[in-house]
């Protein structure tokens, strides 16, 4: 396959991921169990599939050493917290609010990565970050009074923003020593244990999903939860991370549109305007970042609030 065709297929892979991650937002809200329970099923349906891949590939098993173990402990703990907050927020407030708030994650990475890793920040990038925060405020204010929105859910979405950023920054360090696939296997397993502990304390009743809901939960694990990550990671080898990040900024738009058509979640003009401001500001922030910072920021955008 020539390089041009490979690049084209990489763009198709990213587009498929956008659709799957947009679908996940609707699927989470469409099933009856609480968000914490949905997160439990999403992880534990995926974990056996991931470990099967590790058992089938001998070279992967040989890479499961000390660095892998401790890296997965740290990354998995952060990702487990992200799963708890993200799935709970999605149940409590609107898809538009959760996904737009989550879209701020690349900007937060930029602001944190500068002082943490000694990376230079452009003043213009910081200005655009402020614009993105203002746009998010408009989204939250514009949703006031909506029956599908709650302040508690919005606060969980903001907490999730920091949890996922922590996961990204930890993963950045871990992936210097650990391969991406074995990291996903171990990190997801630790996340499953963290979520299981939370379920035992907060939501010991796993509910009674119907047969169709079990299929939806399985689809969350297989498609957006696993295949979406695989496709995006493969695309990174063939398409600039900046291009991928720009494409994946469409995820909140797709998720909000799907929630409108399938869940009846309306979007007010103020929400719509605020969301557009956020997406434009994030795009401008990435464009203004230094090449090194922009690459990290773009990779972050490519994983923003991944289910």
pLDDT of residue 245: 62
The residues spanned by each domain of the chain are 3-301
| pLDDT tens, residue by residue, 269-282 | 888 888 888 778 87
Cβ contacts of 282-285, under 8 Å, gap ≥ 24: 282/103, 282/104, 282/106, 282/107, 282/128, 282/132, 282/249, 283/246, 283/249, 284/124, 284/128, 284/131, 285/106, 285/107, 285/110, 285/125, 285/128, 285/129, 285/132
Q: How confident is the model at residue 73 (pLDDT cuts 50, 70, 90)?
A: very high
53-66 mean pLDDT: 82
**pLDDT band at residue 107, thresholds of 50, 70 and 90?**
confident
Q: Which of the four pLDDT bands, split at 50, 70 and 90, describes residue 31?
A: very high
Which residues have a Cβ under 8 Å from the Cβ of 171 and sit 6 or more positions away?
Answer: 75, 183, 187
Taking residues 213-237, what's their average pLDDT?
84
Q: What is the pLDDT of residue 291?
A: 46
- Distance CA(2)–CA(6), nearest Å, equals 6
Higher pLDDT among residues 226 and 73, named by residue: 73
Please give the structure tokens belonging to residue 15: 């587009």
At 289, list the tokens. Answer: 């970042």
- Mean pLDDT computed over every residue of the chain: 82
At residue 292, the pLDDT reads 46
Average pLDDT in the 178-204 region?
A: 90
Least confident piece of the model among 50-59, 63-72, 184-193 = 50-59
**Better-predicted residue by pLDDT, 278 or 287:** 278
292 versus 100: which is more confidently predicted?
100
Supply the pTM of this predicted model: 0.83
pLDDT score, position 267: 79
Give the residue with greater pLDDT, 277 vs 306. Answer: 277
């Amino acid at each position: 396959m020539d390089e041009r065709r490979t690049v084209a297929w990489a763009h198709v892979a990213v587009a498929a991921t956008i659709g799957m991650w947009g679908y996940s937002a609707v699927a989470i809200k469409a099933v009856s169990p609480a968000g914490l329970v949905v997160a439990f099923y999403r992880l534990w349906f995926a974990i056996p599939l991931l470990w099967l891949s590790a058992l089938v590939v001998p070279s992967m098993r040989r890479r499961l050493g000390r660095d892998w173990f401790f890296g997965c402990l740290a990354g998995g703990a952060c990702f487990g917290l992200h799963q708890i907050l993200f799935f709970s927020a999605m149940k409590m407030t609107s898809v538009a609010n959760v996904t737009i708030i989550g879209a701020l994650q690349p900007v937060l990475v930029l602001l944190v990565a500068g002082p943490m890793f000694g990376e230079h920040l452009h003043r213009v990038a910081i200005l655009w970050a402020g614009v993105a925060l203002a746009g998010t405020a408009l989204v939250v204010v514009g949703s006031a009074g909506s029956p599908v929105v709650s302040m508690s859910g919005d606060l969980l979405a903001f907490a999730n923003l920091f949890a996922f950023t922590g996961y990204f920054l930890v993963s950045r360090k871990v992936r210097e020593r650990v391969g991406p696939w074995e990291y996903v296997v171990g990190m997801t397993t630790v996340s499953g244990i963290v979520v299981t502990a939370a379920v035992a304390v907060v939501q010991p009743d796993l509910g009674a999903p119907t047969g169709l809901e079990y299929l939806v939960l399985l689809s969350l694990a297989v498609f957006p939860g696993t295949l979406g990550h695989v496709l995006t990671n493969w695309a990174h080898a063939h398409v600039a991370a900046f291009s991928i990040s720009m494409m994946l900024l469409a995820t909140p738009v797709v998720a909000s549109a799907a929630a409108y058509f399938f869940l009846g979640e309306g979007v007010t003009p103020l929400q719509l305007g605020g969301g557009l401001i956020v997406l434009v500001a994030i795009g401008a922030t990435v464009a203004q970042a230094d090449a090194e910072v922009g690459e990290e920021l773009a990779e972050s955008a490519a994983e923003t609030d991944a289910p």
